[in-house]
Structure 1
Amino acid sequence: MPDRQLGWKQALVDYVSVVNEAGLLGDAKAFRRVPDPYHRMRLVRRAEALEERAALVRFKPIRSEMKARLLRYEAKETEVAADLQLHTVRSYEQDRFPWLEERVEKERIRLIKSGTRWRVDGIEPIATEQHPLPMAHANRELVDEYGWPSRPVLPSIPLIKTDAEVPARSKVYAGPGTSGSWEDGYERSMPYRREEAVAYAERWWDRPNPAFENFDVNCTNYVSQCLFAGGAPMNYTGRRETGWWYKGRSGGQELWSFSWAVANSLQHYLSAPRAFGLRAEAVDSPRQLQLGDVICYDWDGNGGYQHNTIVTAFTPDGMPLVNANTVSSRRRYWDYRDSYAWTEQTRYRFFHLIDEF
């Protein structure tokens, strides 16, 4: 048994080495040693997109390190299924100024034994940025301002716990036309504390805050937490299809707005004009963004946004670096050409948050 385990684990090590080396070289041809043709195609498409980026930007990768962690596996005599976590740290440089980008990806890998040797037979990413929060059996005729049905049947996802780590000074606005407010009500002229939003994004980029539920598709939940940590007041309406809020449980019922956790809904919420509360203005260029601002991603270019990130740093020439969840990412270049979800049709929305709520 030890010899058999050593064989398939060595095949995993060899695969990780190939991917790490090819990623640093940035050459699509370097992936020819990846055994699964479908995954090889994914990696090649990503490498080609990065080659196109290299023609547009002035920074270059100078070092790459990939750490692999075996999360779980099921082993048989001639077949193994293993879940692998890949933590990639890459160093980039522009005008002699270096920075680090980090990413945590998970893959499910199938290995088979052929004769006396083990080889990788299939590779599938466990999570990517291209899938929105699922909504089952929705009545598509009931579509509200956020682009979602008014009364969908949603997956069961618990909400905030009682010991949530959130800013003590945050207030909650009930919204016009609603009865009453939650917590202390809305306090005018609250500043957006951009540094605190970024600090929260940096602390929790690679692990969930235990005060909140960690969704399978967690990008928008994570961004909402960051905005809330920066002082953005919740707009509690009591209706999941309106406002921006995350209240918790009541009688076993989960209470959170679509805009808190669904990528397309947050994009719609930030697009809508309002006199106070969480507000943003759409700008034309990523260069116009500041720390704590938000970028939304429409991979297919059809108007449905599937991913959100928060700006946490900048390159020397002023381009945003972003943090995100689902695929946990820290200081990743804003255009996401290195995502499996990216396509030539990808469209972006750049939201600059108003400095006072």
Structure 2
Amino acid sequence: MKIIAYDRKAAVEYARKWAYGRNPQYYNFDRLGGDCTNYVSQCLHAGGAVMNYRPVTGWFYRSANDRTASWTGVEYIYRFLTENDGLGPFGQESPVEELQEGDLVQLGRDTGDFYHTPIIVGFSRGPLVAAHTYDAYNKPLYTYYFERLRGIHILGVRVPD
């Protein structure tokens, strides 16, 4: 495997294009717990992140019924990105102040569970984000209600040699 750069600009452009719509290539999970992580997975993929087809613990989408939990689940994408040593995107938990466009933030409760994953698309007195479920683009992060916040800085993408 080799590591390539994550194309943050392409990820943010995809986020802009589909912030208020749904790409017909992907199922809309709004009525099945939310579409936020599905949307950011699409953004990561648009940014050059190849899919990891490892059953159960990988990160891929073929259809609504043939995908990994990490493609659509808040906790699962966090675990995949921060623990991935195989193909696909990988990252690390980072303070929000150190994040860049194309990185992810996750909103959580004091109980420790996280429930929403927006993507950073810009900065203006703090991060501006895009998200699905409650569709948004260039929304100031501070306008969301949350008790806990964690950032995921995308370090790169592992691809086959």
TM range (shorter): 0.7 to 0.9
Residue of structure 2 in register with 1:332 after alignment? 139
Equivalent residue for 1:232, pick from 49, 53, 59: 49
* Distance in structure 2 (CA, Å) of the matches to 1:280 and 1:323: 19
**1:268/1:302 CA distance change after superposition, 3 Å:** farther
- 1:219 deviates by 0.4
CA distance in structure 2 between the partners assigned to 1:243 and 1:209 by the alignment: 22
Q: 1:189 to 1:204 in 2, by over 3 A?
A: same
Q: 1:333: Cα distance to partner? A: 1.0
The one-letter code matched in structure 2 to 1:320 is: P
Equivalent in the alignment of 1:95 = none
- TM-score, normalised via structure 2 length: 0.88
Equivalent position of 1:308 in the other structure: 117
Question: After the TM superposition, which residues 158-173 of structure 1 pair with which residues of structure 2 at under 5 Å, given as runs?
Answer: none
Corresponding residue for residue 19 of structure 2:
205
Letter in 2 for 1:220: T
Where 1:354 maps in the other structure, the secondary structure is strand
Find out whether 1:220 has 2:37 as its counterpart. yes
Work out the CA distance in 2 between the residues paired with 1:277 and 1:203: 23
Tell me, what secondary structure is at the counterpart of 1:351? strand
Question: Identity of counterpart residues, as a percentage?
Answer: 34
Match of 1:140 in 2: none
Aligned to 1:257: 68
Shift of 1:189: 2.5
**1:275-354 correspondence runs (5 A):** 277-284=88-95, 286-298=96-108, 300-315=109-124, 317=125, 319-337=126-144, 342-343=145-146, 346-354=147-155
> Whole-Å Cα distance in 2 between the matches of residues 213 and 356 of structure 1?
24
Q: Is the contact made by 2:52 and 2:86 (CA closer than 8 Å) also made in structure 1?
A: no
Match of 1:245 in 2: 60
User: Quick one: distance in 2 between partners of 1:276 and 1:235?
Assistant: 5
Rg (Cα) greater in structure: 1
Shift of 1:212: 1.0
Q: Deviations over 1:312-357 (max 9, x none)?
A: 0111x4x2100000000011112343xxxx25xx101111101343
Residue deviations 1:121-163 (CA, integer Å, cap 9, x gap):
xxxxxxxxxxxxxxxxxxxxxxxxxxxxxxxxxxxxxxxxxxx
Once the two structures are TM-superposed, the CA of residue 190 in structure 1 deviates from its matched residue by 2.5
Offset of 1:276 from its aligned partner? 5.4
Alignment partner of 2:4 out of 187, 190, 195:
190
Residues 336 and 269 of structure 1: CA distance in aligned 2, closer, same or farther (over 3 Å): farther
Give the deviation of 1:229 after TM superposition: 0.4
Structure 2, unpaired ranges of 5+:
none
1:274, 1:336 → 2: CA distance?
Answer: 35
- Conservation of the 8 A alpha-carbon contact between 1:267 and 1:305: no
Which blocks of at least 5 consecutive residues in structure 1 are unaligned?
1-186
**The residue matched to 2:88 in structure 1 has which SS?**
coil
**Counterpart code for 2:132:** N
Matched length: 155
Which is richer in helix?
2
Residue 218 of structure 1 and its aligned partner are, at CA, apart by: 0.5
1:260 to partner: Cα distance: 0.3
Counterpart of 2:119 in 1: which secondary structure?
Answer: strand
Q: Which amino acid in the other structure matches residue 141 of structure 2? A: W
Q: Which amino acid aligns with 2:150?
A: R
CA distance in 2, matches of 1:277, 1:226: 13
Pairwise CA RMSD of aligned residues? 1.8
- The residue type paired with residue 45 of structure 2 is F
Letter in 2 for 1:295: V
